[in-house]
């Protein structure tokens, strides 16, 4: 052997340059495997005995463990298997599992510093080295379960970094490959799902993005009894609104405005004024609204619960109304809305005189549209009547439609938003 000892625990257990057949004992190999998983750290005698002898303990297991350690020293060297007060330790200069962890940490560091290329290189190096399962010849060993879960989590992180970096560098195909691998390992990994959806959209495959979402949504419902997270559903709805295959030819743009932390709301004479620390976000919303004079614009506001999404939109809406903009604001409610309920609520609140007519229009078709041409025609008739109402009341300053919790809205509301945007894109109205 050379001066350095290199241990591999990914795949089958190996020690480079050492002939482990000289151990002449499976139990001695097990001893080294357990020590390798805690490289450089002492493992107690009791823990080693439990791992080496799953049943039929010898009369003096501590003595027999010492014999196994002596065999290991004969193969690896006396300085490699140390006995201390706490137990035994394996000393080596390199281990493939530790290298995967180090590469993933480096990838995360580079990603955080904006070095997308470096992050991808480090993450993909970690994935190449970590391609094999930890101790593939000990899949049923209870003592390997924890370390296997730990390295699996590291590999999942590396896949996510590699996918995000590939997507950021315009390599949508590579991003999709990494994201699919992450989902294959963990079908409920919504971070990987969102990366896969974005990769499909970037590659011009929105239908594939929606299909991936549907598959995970069904798995979550069937196996866990839950729905995708709000962040995932917002991404899904933004794709639906912008997807020509889902809502027809839409020439607009979907922007995502991510809210990180809450700003302060100030009220003066019952009117909201700009949020403290939200000037940038308010300016972005104003800019999107101004661009909508030329083409339809969608802004999806995302963020953790309590981050201030609703306060931001309420403040912007109040300022827009002060400029003469007609703002129609409704809210989605999971599983509680009738067809177009958020839209009808918004119209009834903003246009009391038209509420009755709008409700009559809405009652002409309720429920989720089916595949038949008749159902599609009925839906479009309702949409056309709603659009005519909006055109008749829209002031010169413009119209903005706000649906809070859009990911909870009924499918018909989502379809109508897409129809409205498509019409806006082709008529240069807002």
Look-up of token digits 């200069």:
93
Residue 344 pLDDT? 76
Q: In this structure, are strands 87-90 and 43-44 parallel, antiparallel, or unpaired?
A: antiparallel
For residues 104, 234, 213, 167, the Cα torsion angle rounded to the nearest 10 degrees is -40
Confidence grade of residue 148 (pLDDT, cut at 50, 70, 90) = very high
Q: Which CATH class is domain 6-92?
A: mainly alpha
Residue 124, token pair as written in the block: 């993909």
* Structure confidence by residue, pLDDT tens digits, 310-361: 888 888 888 888 888 888 888 877 655 577 777 777 777 776 554 434 443 3
What CATH number does the domain located at 96-228 have? 1.25.40.10
What letter does residue 133 receive in the DSSP assignment? Answer: P
* Structure confidence by residue, pLDDT tens digits, 196-207: 999 988 888 887
SS3 content of the chain, % helix, strand, coil (to 5): 60, 15, 30
Residue 296, token pair as written in the block: 């339809």
Contacts (Cβ under 8 Å, ≥6 apart) of 190:
216, 228, 229, 231, 232
Q: Tell me the CA distances in angstroms from 187 to 80, 184, 220, 382, one per residue in order.
A: 41, 6, 9, 39
Alpha-carbon distance of 144 to 135, in angstroms, equals 8
Question: Domain limits of the chain?
Answer: 6-92, 96-228, 233-427
pLDDT tops 60 at residue 118: yes
Span 31-35, mean pLDDT?
94
Look-up of token digits 């809406």:
317
175 vs 297, higher pLDDT:
175
pLDDT tops 80 at residue 422: no
Span 159-173, mean pLDDT?
93
Report the mean per-residue pLDDT for the chain.
Answer: 80
Residue 377 pLDDT? 67
| Percent of the chain whose predicted confidence (pLDDT) is above 90 | 40
226 vs 206, higher pLDDT:
226
* Structure confidence by residue, pLDDT tens digits, 231-273: 888 888 888 776 443 333 333 445 556 555 444 444 433 344 4
* Structure confidence by residue, pLDDT tens digits, 331-344: 877 655 577 777 77
* Structure confidence by residue, pLDDT tens digits, 354-404: 443 444 333 333 333 334 445 566 677 777 777 777 777 778 888 888 888
């Amino acid at each position: 052997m050379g001066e350095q000892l290199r241990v591999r625990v990914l795949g089958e257990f190996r020690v480079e340059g050492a002939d482990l057949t000289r151990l002449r004992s499976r139990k001695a190999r097990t001893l080294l495997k357990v020590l390798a998983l805690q490289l450089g750290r002492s493992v107690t005698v009791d823990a080693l005995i439990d791992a080496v002898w799953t049943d039929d303990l010898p009369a003096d297991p501590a003595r027999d463990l010492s014999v196994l350690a002596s065999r290991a020293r004969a193969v690896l060297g006396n300085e490699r298997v140390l006995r201390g007060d706490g137990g035994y330790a394996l000393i080596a200069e390199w281990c493939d599992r530790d290298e995967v962890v180090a590469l993933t940490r480096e990838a995360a560091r580079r990603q955080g510093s904006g070095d997308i290329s470096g992050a991808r290189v480090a993450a993909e190096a970690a994935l190449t080295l970590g391609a094999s399962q930890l101790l593939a010849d000990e899949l049923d060993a209870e003592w390997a379960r924890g370390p296997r879960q730990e390295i699996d989590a590291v590999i999942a992180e590396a896949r996510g970094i590699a996918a995000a970096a590939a997507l950021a560098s315009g390599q949508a195909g590579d991003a999709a490959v990494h994201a699919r691998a992450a989902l294959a390992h963990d079908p409920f990994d919504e971070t990987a799902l969102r990366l896969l959806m974005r990769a499909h959209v970037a590659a011009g495959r929105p239908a594939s993005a929606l299909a991936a979402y549907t598959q995970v949504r069904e798995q979550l419902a069937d196996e866990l009894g839950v729905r995708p997270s709000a962040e995932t559903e917002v991404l899904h709805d933004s794709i639906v609104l912008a997807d020509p295959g889902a809502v027809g030819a839409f020439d607009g743009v979907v922007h995502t405005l991510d809210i990180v932390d809450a700003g302060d709301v100030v009220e003066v004479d019952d009117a909201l004024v700009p949020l403290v620390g939200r000037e940038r976000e308010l300016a972005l919303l104003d800019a999107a609204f101004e661009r909508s004079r030329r083409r339809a614009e969608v802004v999806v506001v995302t963020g953790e619960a309590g981050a201030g999404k609703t306060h931001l939109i309420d403040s912007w809406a109040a300022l827009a109304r002060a400029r003469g903009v007609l703002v129609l604001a409704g809210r989605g409610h999971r599983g509680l809305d009738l067809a177009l309920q958020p839209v009808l609520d918004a119209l009834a609140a903003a246009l009391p005189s038209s509420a009755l007519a709008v409700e009559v229009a809405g009652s002409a078709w309720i429920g989720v549209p089916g595949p038949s041409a008749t159902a599609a025609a009925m839906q479009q008739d309702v949409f056309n009547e709603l659009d005519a109402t909006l055109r008749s009341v829209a002031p010169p300053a413009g119209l903005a439609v706000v649906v809070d919790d859009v990911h909870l809205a009924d499918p018909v509301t989502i379809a109508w938003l897409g129809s409205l945007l498509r019409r806006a894109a082709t008529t240069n109205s807002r």
